[in-house]
Amino acid sequence: MFVEVATQQVKPSQTCPECGHQEKKTLPDRVHNCVKCGYVADRDVAAAQVMLNYAKGLGANLDRCGLA
């Protein structure tokens, strides 16, 4: 199954997968280090987790609509 993530809305690379706090990163920032909850992960890993959470939420929405 393929889920397209609306990156303009979700901003996976700037969102904390743990608490959802958004903070702008510049490209040289390779590590996600959340100022709010202290979660630390490689930025690509964190971005993947954000997209996974988004996909799971989308799955729940699809269930509710009877599309899944």
Q: On the CB side of 10, how many CA atoms lie within 13 Å of its CA?
A: 19
Q: Which of 13, 14, 18, 51 binds Zn ion (CB under 5 A)?
A: 18
Can you say whether the dihedral through the CA atoms of 58, 47, 10, 40 is positive or negative? positive
- Verify binding: residue 16, Zn ion, rule CB under 5 A: yes
Cα gap 6→4, rounded to integer Å: 6
Task: Verify binding: residue 11, Zn ion, rule CB under 5 A.
Answer: no
Q: Which is nearer to Zn ion, 40 or 68 (CB)?
A: 40
Chain residues that interact with Zn ion, rule: CB under 5 A:
16, 18-19, 21, 34, 36-37, 39
